[in-house]
Structure 1
Amino acid sequence: MSRARLILLTALTMAAFAGNSLLCRLALAHTAIDAATFTTVRLASGAAMLWLLTQWRPVTSGSGGGRWLSGLALFAYAACFSFAYISLPAGTGALLLFGAVQVTMVLHDLRSGKTPRMAQAAGMALAAAGLVWLVLPGVSAPPLLGSLLMLASGVAWGIYSLRGRGAGDPTRVTAGNFLRAVPFSIALSIAAAGALTLDPAGVAYALASGAITSAIGYVIWYSVLPSLSATSAATVQLSVPVIAAFGGIVLLGENLTLRLVASSIAILGGIAMVIRDKGRGG
């Protein structure tokens, strides 16, 4: 893959990942759709799009087809993500999500017996301090319930990502996991039927989130991953909360607070320290 093509596809993927936050916040803050319905439409449309994409790909041995536990983790991520964005600004939500994902994966490495180097330990401490500062009570602190839901969403996505390592053909496995997540989301929608609200614009945003920024975004990401080192792949994702934050300001009229800026520097800077030192130390 040429360098120009790699840069373009990587940029498109990061924009798609940030787009998930923007579309969800746009739907839940500016339309009448409820969070459970948004989750179900997003997962169902993602499953449908991924299934269509797999029909054009040859089936290879060991390609895999998803797992129920992975589907449950995917559902937990998507559901907590949706309910968190009822109250969280797009940029704050993306920052909490991304921070929780990376912390979850780093803690998994520690549990596996990988001792952190000094720079990694310092980076983890800095990122943790940034997360704590962001959610501490105060005038500009984000809502606590929304923050906790987004942190839970990040943990669920981190678990999903860890379970997906080496699971076979990423597109086919992701399609299978999305399909398995749909029954859980339908059950959630039935349980929340009293709050059911079908809003045409909200449904359209959910369809776009599932079929485009989720399904197609993941497929493009998996196509560029082989051309990126592990460190580069992890580092480039630091751009997602920044894109979401500025997208929220420009498109949704959200405010950029000093607390968000300071927390972003601490969280993303700390994660970057961990990732880069891990890349040097192996």
Structure 2
Amino acid sequence: MSPLRVSCLTLLAMIAFAGNSLLCRMALRHTTIDPASFTSVRLASGAAVLYLLARTRTSSARGQGSWKSAVALLIYAAGFSFAYVNLPAATGALLLFGAVQISMISHGLWRGERLRAMQWLGLLLAAAGVIGLLLPGLTAPPLQASLLMIGAGVAWGVYSLRGRGAGDPTRVTAGNFARAVPIALLCSLLQWRSASVDPAGLAYALASGALASGIGYAIWYAVLPGLKATTAATVQLSVPALAAMGGILFLGEPFGFRLLVASVAILGGIVLVIVQRQR
């Protein structure tokens, strides 16, 4: 794969990941679909697309997913949806990304990984950014929604760690999505009294699952072999920025000083950890 093609596909994957935040926020803000139904439709459409993509692959690597990973995936997807009822797109994406990275770094520490002084500084800076964003104030995001998004990020971190060495990423992801669907549908049935689906909300959920999730993940897995580890990690820093731009352009959301400072602290701190780790 040529460098230009790798760059274009990488950008497309990052836009897809940021698009998940925008599509979910649009659906829950501008339509009547409820978070549980959005989650079920997203997972079901994502599972269908990933199944079709996995069937077309000729890779010798195998993989089928697991129920534990499916539960982690469902916790992420549900927390993501319920949090975006009240969170702006940029704030949600930043909290999600920060929680994912901090949880994965913390797992490395628990497993015995040793951090250098600059890495500790980066980790503390990122954690301070998350705490500063949540401190009470006029511009603070809703605490309950923020905690839901942080929980979703931790669940995605667990999901990512469980996926290491599990086999072909597309097949594994397809298997996990397929396993998560019946659990999500059961959760939706338990909340049938508050269920609501309209055509616009259904379209957003389908786009989030089929395009931003299914095809987005497939593109990302396709370009990963062409990226260095540090590049693959740092390029994901663009997702909160893309979500913020989309929130401003398409949703008319503000980007205040508190969010700017928190973004610099969280993303800058994670950069320090990643770069120093590679060295």
Q: TM-score with structure 1 length normalisation?
A: 0.98
How big is the shift at 1:252? 0.5
User: Secondary structure of 1:55's match?
Assistant: helix
Structure 1's unaligned 5+ residue stretches are: none
CA distance in 1, matches of 2:59, 2:225: 19
CA distance in 2, matches of 1:253, 1:36: 25
1:36 corresponds in structure 2 to 36
Deviation readout 1:207-229 (Å, 9 max, x if unpaired): 00000000000000001111111
Deviation readout 1:18-61 (Å, 9 max, x if unpaired): 0000000000011100000000000000001111111212363x
1:215 corresponds in structure 2 to 214
1:47 corresponds in structure 2 to 47
1:4 corresponds in structure 2 to 4
CA distance in 1, matches of 2:49, 2:227: 25
CA distance in 2, matches of 1:191, 1:58: 40
Alignment of 1:64-213 (within 5 A): 64-213=63-212
Q: Which amino acid aligns with 2:271?
A: A
Count of residues paired in the alignment: 279
1:27 corresponds in structure 2 to 27
CA distance in 1, matches of 2:172, 2:157: 16
How big is the shift at 1:115? 1.2
Q: Which amino acid aligns with 2:76?
A: Y
Identical amino acids, percent of aligned pairs: 62
Alignment of 1:194-273 (within 5 A): 194-273=193-272
Q: Which amino acid aligns with 2:100?
A: V
Rate the CA distance shift 1:258–1:179 in 2: closer, same or farther, 3 A: same
CA distance in 2, matches of 1:137, 1:184: 35
Deviation readout 1:212-264 (Å, 9 max, x if unpaired): 00000000000111111111111000000000011000000101111000100
CA distance in 1, matches of 2:228, 2:100: 19
User: Secondary structure of 2:56's match?
Assistant: coil
Deviation readout 1:127-161 (Å, 9 max, x if unpaired): 00000000111000000011000000000000000
CA distance in 2, matches of 1:20, 1:77: 12
CA distance in 2, matches of 1:52, 1:3: 27
User: Secondary structure of 2:145's match?
Assistant: helix
CA distance in 2, matches of 1:187, 1:138: 38
Q: TM-score with structure 2 length normalisation?
A: 0.99
How big is the shift at 1:187? 1.3
User: Secondary structure of 1:58's match?
Assistant: coil
CA distance in 2, matches of 1:93, 1:28: 13
How big is the shift at 1:188? 1.1
Structure 2's unaligned 5+ residue stretches are: none
Aligned residues: CA RMSD: 0.8
Q: Which amino acid aligns with 1:190?
A: L
CA distance in 1, matches of 2:51, 2:113: 37
